[in-house]
Amino acid sequence: MTRVGTAGIERAPENLFQDPVLRAEWDERAVAAPGGDMHQGSAFAADRMRRGIRVVPLYVDGAPLLVTVRRLPILGLGIASISRGPAVKADVAPEELVQIPELLRRVAHWLRREEGVVELRVDPWAQESASLRDAWSAAGFSPCEESFFSRHSMWIRASAVRGQSEEALFAQVNATKRNEVSAARRAGVSVRRLEAPDVVLLANVADIVNETAVRRGFATIDPARTLPTWSDLMRAGQMEVWLAELPDGTLAAVETALRWRPSSRGRGAALAMDVDQSGAHRGEDCGPRRR
C-alpha cells in the first residue's frame, strides 16, 4: 500500500477485490468484526461496480473504509458516499462519536485531491445529540437527503437470541401473525433455508419480489443486476434466503435477511459536505430529508 500525504489515509491494494485472501481479510475487518457493516464489504463493492459506480477502498487510521463515487458528466468530478462501518462507528461512546465528523472531513479533502470529489455524503447511523450536531456542523456537514436506502426498504428487528426455542419466539409474535403461521402449518407449508446460491430458485425469488413490488407500489428490482449481488452476499455469509413451499413444491413465499445491518430506529440524519477547489469546505443545506 502507498501512503498518500500525511493524514493517515491509505489506498487499499489495487487487487483487493480480485485476490480471494485479501478480499476475505477485508470482509473480516469491514463486515464481520464489531462495528462492521455489509455496505462496507466486497459483495456490496461488486454490486456498485456492476452498476458503473467507482469504489475506492481505503484505510483511515488503520480502519477499512469503502467509499463509492458517482462520476459527474463534467471534468471528471464526482459525488462520494460512505456508510457506517469500522471507520465510521455508530455504537460507541458519545466522546468517540463526536470525533467522526473531523475524521470524515479529512477523508473528504483527500477524496477531493485524489478522486475529484466535490461532495461527500455520509449515512453514519449514529444516535443524534446536540454535541454531535455541533461536531458535524463544525466539520462542514449539513443535513441531506437519504443517500443509501429506498423509502420502500423494510426493517425488521430480530428479537431472537441464541438458544431460544421456537415456542418462545412464537409467543413474541402478535395474535394475527400467530394465526397466519398456524394456518400455514395446517396447509402443509414448509420453510427451508437456501444453503447456497441457486440461479433458478433466486430467479423465482426475484419474480415474487417484483410481483409483490408491483402490487404494493414498491420499487422493482433488476434481476440481471440483483441476482449476482444476492449470490455474492450469500457466499460471503451476509445474506440468507428462506423459502416457503407448498406440499407440491410450489414456491409460495420468500424471505431475504441481510446480516450485519443494524436497526434504523433512533439513528441520525444523512449528511453531506461540499468540498471546493481549494480543499476548504462549506456547509450548505442540500435539501430536506425524505422519510
Does residue 268 sit within a domain?
yes
Q: Same domain for 34 and 126?
A: yes
Do 115 and 50 lie in one domain? The reply is: yes
pTM (global) more than 0.95: no
Looking up residue 15, the CATH number of its domain turns out to be: 3.40.630.30
Indicate whether 212 and 274 sit together in one domain. no
- Pair 33, 127 in one domain: yes
**CB-CB neighbours of 277 under 10 Å:** 7
Residues 193 and 116 placed together within one structural domain of the fold: no
pLDDT at 84: 82
The reply to whether 229 and 275 lie within a common domain is no
Q: pLDDT tens-digit profile of 173-207?
A: 778 878 888 888 888 988 888 888 888 888 988 88
Q: Does residue 4 lie in a domain region?
A: no
Residues 33, 99, single domain; the answer is: yes
Domain that holds residue 38: 9-149+264-282
For residue range 65-87, list pLDDT tens digits in order: 999 999 888 777 899 999 888 88
The answer to the question of residue 171 being in a domain is: no
Task: Classify residue 155: in a domain, yes or no.
Answer: no
Question: Within the chain, which residues score under 50 in pLDDT?
Answer: 1-6, 147-157, 262-269, 277-291
User: Do 219 and 99 share a domain, yes or no?
Assistant: no
Do 70 and 207 fall into the same domain?
Answer: no
- Residues 74 and 218 occupy one common structural domain: no
51 within a domain of the structure (yes/no)? yes
Residue 238 domain-assigned (yes or no) = yes
Kind of pairing between the strands at 63-71 and 239-245: unpaired
What pLDDT sits at residue 244?
Answer: 87
pLDDT of residue 248: 86
Q: What local confidence, expressed as pLDDT, does residue 145 receive?
A: 62
On whether both 50 and 193 belong to a single domain, the answer is no
* Domain count of the fold of the chain: 2
Quick one: pLDDT at residue 205? 86
**DSSP three-state, residue 58:** strand
Q: Is the residue at 250 inside a domain?
A: yes
Whether residues 18 and 62 share a domain: the answer is yes
Is residue 177 situated within a structural domain? no
- pLDDT computed for residue 148 by the predictor: 47
